Amino acid sequence: MDIDKAPKLLIVESPAKIKTISKFLGKNFKIMSTFGHVRDLPERKLGIERNEETHKIELQYVTIADKKDVVASICKEASKCGEVFLASDPDREGEIIAWHIGEEIKKVFHDPEHIYRITFNEITEPAILEAIKRKTKVDNDKVSAQQARRILDRWVGYEVSPILWKKIAKGLSAGRVQSVALMLVCTREEEILAFKPEESWSVHAVFTLEDGSTMHAELSKISKKTAKLNSKEDADNVLSQLAKATYIVAQIIDKKRAKSPLPPFMTSTLQQDAFNKLGFAVEKTMSVAQRLYEGVPLSNKDEPEALITYMRTDSLRIAETAITGVREYIKEEFGKEYLPKSPHLYAKKGAQDAHESIRPIEVSRSPQKIGHFLKSDEKKLYDLIWKRFVACQMTAAEYFQRQILIEGGKFTFKANGSTLIFDGFLKVYMEEDEETDQAVKIPKGIAENIPLSIGNVAGKQHFTQPPPRYSEATLVKELEKQGIGRPSTYAATLSTIQKRQYVNKDNKRFTPTELGTAVSSMLTKNLPDVINVSFTAKMEENLDKIAQGEADRDTVLNEFYVEFKKDLVAFGGNESLKKTIETDLECPQCQKLLVVRFGRAGQFAGCSGFPECKFTGNVTKNEDGTFALRQDDGPSAEELGECPQCQKPLSKRVGRFGPFISCSGYPDCKYIHQEALKMPCPLDAGRVTKRRWRGGSFWGCANYPTCKFAIFAGVQETPCPKCSSPYLLVQKAKEGNLKHACPNKECKFSEIVETEKE
């Protein structure tokens, strides 16, 4: 085969890149996509073998079920080509994808030496062509690092999760990073509950100059010592003395302060800024950034164009060509005074630095020029990335700061003023906490030694505040600060602890659920060598060393496994661990204490006397950490009535889809009360009952699955006045009103029913 004339195959992860890359390569190139990972460990077994004698670790990879056709198609095409270029993303996950598909291609390819690995940080013609020139082989060290991470996560997940199922509830999961993130949320909640506020007071006064101008100042010192007022009595004592003193301007301190721009975005800082400024969840930020990286149509709807560099990075490095381009842009658009003499260079300790920071590919494509081509979310995020990048290469902002010290007897007051005198990078990018105006208005006629008269004085009470709960942005910041996980994993970690119902969001801040608290407490107590911050951070360092060829994969894994297995055996064998949380609430039926249990539907209160007493109800947690039984729970047997099948009392339970009423004699009697319509099913005359599913509730024939009649709306059992259909659909209308509509599509009858307004 003539390699130069033979067709070539380039393989990417995402099909969205194919159109963009196709523009840059000739007809001799065929571009295909793996659609993400093609092989993984098996779903229903561990898939990891560790030899107890040699300690050698083997992985049992299988082709992902819905990727068999993808792999077959790629291999068939590869067999016709002279060269294959593996162009998956430039990170460890991308490296393992390249390795997996490369291993499959080797089975049918004429010469494995002509299978190459290429990477690029931006999807542009120069970057793609340069990557092909710099073709290399799959980095086996990066592959080993990804495998080590996968093995660690599989060990923790597959070995620990079943113990949680046994001791707490089915369907729970544990994770090496996920469980530490949950621990941080739970620890913060404990700090908040244990917090005791401390009182303090500040004293503020208005001073008047001889020309009548005024200035506000705060008491700073008493007898040359920092003023510490711990009670109202302390403040009142000071206030009673202030009018007796004579005041002068003792000192004026003027200085300039320069504020430098922040570095360009990396993944974690983009996630934080997008949350704080745009209100984007971490998962949404990554999804929108992915589209900007892979390409969106601009002037030509059939030709998507990539707008930003790769969005999964912990590097702050900027390519020289990009620095040159942005410096020229700043000079032309803003003027020489906004351009520093030399470029700002940034670096982050411990960064993998495999690729650049996140930046626009072409700085000339300003948000104003291309914004109308983008969807709303794409435009907002691109605007943020573009501004941060341009600002990072602009001059510092400058402030004029003036501090006034006022003295009278033993009292010293202080006033601080700050004025922006040159906006610098702030012309483009405003920081969250930036000073944009004076803190205090300083009179123009102020001068040292001039007399001042004291006017209104007042004390202000303060209380120390508990540490705030984590938001998505602050939790990402803490994970990064502690060295836990990698920027590319944060979105998945935050998503998992929410999907598992370990945390809730209250005003965009995380609070642990009772389930989350129980899981975290059990894991941290029983697996202290694994579920802790220092271990997780240290393991990230070891994974980096494996990727850099400085550590052996199996050595790192075996060191972990020995201690992990000891803790695991003790944890799994400890039958004394409780599955419940005790409360001080009495059961309304038998007066024994209630406990919080966990089921598939979440937490619920149950009687500690179970199975003799089968009371269940819903509980809420008070701010002080105590429990309260919801008032709508716990009806008496008299209120519910008797079971129509066995005459035992009915009881209210909590199931997978919410509360329901059933026989207290379960499992001997399996009666469940169901709401039913008076009318029969129009298809087979069966009962039409209310049923529940994950999306809510609906009306369906009781003879399902033989009969599949269903109504996914409210029902008004009133015949249609037009066609005599036995019922009308009840739907929401504008302004809080309801709409009654005939289910018969040919009839088309509908009417608006006004609801009573309060």
Query: Of residues 461 and 681, which shows the higher confidence score?
Result: 461
Pair 27, 109 in one domain: yes
Tokens read off for 639 = 């209120």
User: In residues, how long is the chain?
Assistant: 758
The SS3 call for residue 18 is helix
Domain count within the chain: 6
Q: Residue 391 class from Cβ within 10 Å (0-12 exposed, 13-18 middle, 19+ buried)?
A: buried
Pair 127, 25 in one domain: yes
The SS3 call for residue 335 is coil
Rounded average pLDDT over 538-564: 92
Report the pLDDT value the prediction gives residue 563, as an integer from 0 to 100: 85
How far out from the chain centre does Cα 340 lie?
36
> Tens of pLDDT along 17-53?
898 898 899 889 999 999 999 999 998 889 999 998 8
Pair 27, 126 in one domain: yes
DSSP sequence for 594-655? EEEEEETTEEEEEETTTTT---EE-EEE-TTS-EEE-TTS---HHHH-B-TTT-PBEEEEEE
Pair 386, 403 in one domain: no
Q: Range with the lowest mean pLDDT among 11-20, 287-296, 436-445?
A: 436-445
Rounded average pLDDT over 702-713: 86
How far apart CA 142 and CA 21 sit, in angstroms, is 25
Report the pLDDT value the prediction gives residue 241, as an integer from 0 to 100: 95
Of 283, 282, 279, 258, which is closest to residue 269 (Cα–Cα)?
282
Please check whether residue 413 lies inside any domain of the structure.
yes
Please check whether residue 668 lies inside any domain of the structure.
no
Looking at the predicted structure, is the pLDDT value of residue 629 above 60?
A: yes
Please check whether residue 1 lies inside any domain of the structure.
no
Rounded average pLDDT over 55-65: 93
Please check whether residue 151 lies inside any domain of the structure.
yes
How far apart CA 625 and CA 372 sit, in angstroms, is 50
Of 183, 172, 170, 177, which is closest to residue 523 (Cα–Cα)?
183
Pair 125, 226 in one domain: no
Pair 568, 492 in one domain: yes
Report the pLDDT value the prediction gives residue 633, as an integer from 0 to 100: 44
The CATH number given to whatever domain includes residue 546 is 1.10.460.10
Report the pLDDT value the prediction gives residue 635, as an integer from 0 to 100: 46
Count the neighbouring beta carbons within 10 Å of the beta carbon of residue 715.
Answer: 18
Pair 26, 131 in one domain: yes
The CATH number given to whatever domain includes residue 278 is 1.10.290.10
**Choosing from 310, 338, 470, 727, which is the catalytic residue?**
310
Please check whether residue 3 lies inside any domain of the structure.
no
Report the pLDDT value the prediction gives residue 67, as an integer from 0 to 100: 93
Please check whether residue 495 lies inside any domain of the structure.
yes
Rounded average pLDDT over 211-223: 94
Contacting residues for 221 by C-beta, under 8 A, at least 6 apart:
227, 411, 412
Q: Tell me the percentage of the chain whose pLDDT exceeds 90.
A: 52
Pair 652, 711 in one domain: no
Residue-number span of the structural domain to which 230 is assigned: 199-260+397-463
Pair 190, 203 in one domain: no
338 is catalytic: no
How far out from the chain centre does Cα 221 lie?
45
Residue that is last in its domain, among 628, 663, 698: 663
How far apart CA 368 and CA 390 sit, in angstroms, is 14
Pair 688, 638 in one domain: no
> Tens of pLDDT along 358-379?
999 999 999 999 999 999 999 9
Please check whether residue 2 lies inside any domain of the structure.
no
Please check whether residue 758 lies inside any domain of the structure.
no
CA distances from 560 to 233, 536, 621, 721 (A): 59, 11, 38, 74
Pair 381, 405 in one domain: no
pLDDT band, residue 703 (cuts 50/70/90): confident
